[in-house]
Amino acid sequence: MILLLFNVGLSPLFSRRFDYTSLGEAFLSIFGLGLVVGLIYTFVGSFLVKLFIKRLGGQGAIYKEHVQALLIEFFPCIPANLVAIIVVSITGALYFYPAEYISYYGTPTDTLLIFIATMLGLVLALWSLINWTVNISKIEKVRKWVALFVLIILPFVFIASFFVISYITFHIIQLFI
């Protein structure tokens, strides 16, 4: 369970650019962020999927089934994350920089390893999305396109709600300053 939660949070973090002073600091930050983001994404994401699917005609599967569907969805990400960890250990902090920086400062081997790890991550992320779509459509007894629609629109709703909450919180704090 911990490994799956970690992978849920770790998968999107490998695609970000980080400025760290050392590779150890990068790994520590990503592993810590991976677990925290994984916990939040697993439980909040499952709740929001359940909420949206129910509004679009879902049969009302229990929350536990949604959490299990999300965790099963991330099984393909485990090999991609292991490959990314191996590539980071070979290429160093270069893995976290943009492609222009890698091609200028890295060797052709570094560029190839990072490209392979990135493409593997993208293919397995797509496979995970397909798995989650099929699992949600089965447990909620809805069509696959409805489940896919919810899974695609959900990140936008989540980000928009985050900005709205941040905006409201900021203005409430400004009232007391």
pTM, to two decimals: 0.66
Of 89-93, 148-152, 153-157, 173-177, which range is least confident? 89-93
Alpha helical stretches, state H, the chain: 2-13, 23-55, 63-73, 77-91, 99-105, 108-140, 144-176
- The reported pLDDT for the residue numbered 6 is 46
> What are the tens digits of pLDDT across the range 114-138?
888 888 888 888 888 888 888 888 8
Query: How high is the pLDDT of residue 24?
Result: 65
Q: Compute the chain's Rg from CA coordinates.
A: 19
Is the pLDDT assigned to residue 31 strictly greater than 60? yes
- Sorted by sequence, the CB contacts under 8 Å of residue 6 that are 6+ apart come out as 31, 34, 35, 38
18 pLDDT tier (thresholds 50, 70, 90):
low
Q: Which residues contact 113 (CB under 8 A, 6 or more apart)?
A: 87, 90, 91
Average pLDDT over residues 162-168: 86
Q: What contacts 134, CB < 8 A, 6 or more positions away?
A: 144, 147
Ramachandran quadrant class, 60 (left: phi over 0; alpha: psi -120 to 50; beta: rest): left
Percentage of the chain lying above the pLDDT 90 cut: 0
pLDDT recorded at residue 86: 83
Q: Give CA torsion, residues 42, 50, 148, 129, to 10 deg.
A: 20
How far does Cα 140 stand from its chain's mean position?
A: 23
- In the predicted model, what is the mean pLDDT of residues 60-75? 81
> Could you tell me the two tokens for 117?
């790890």
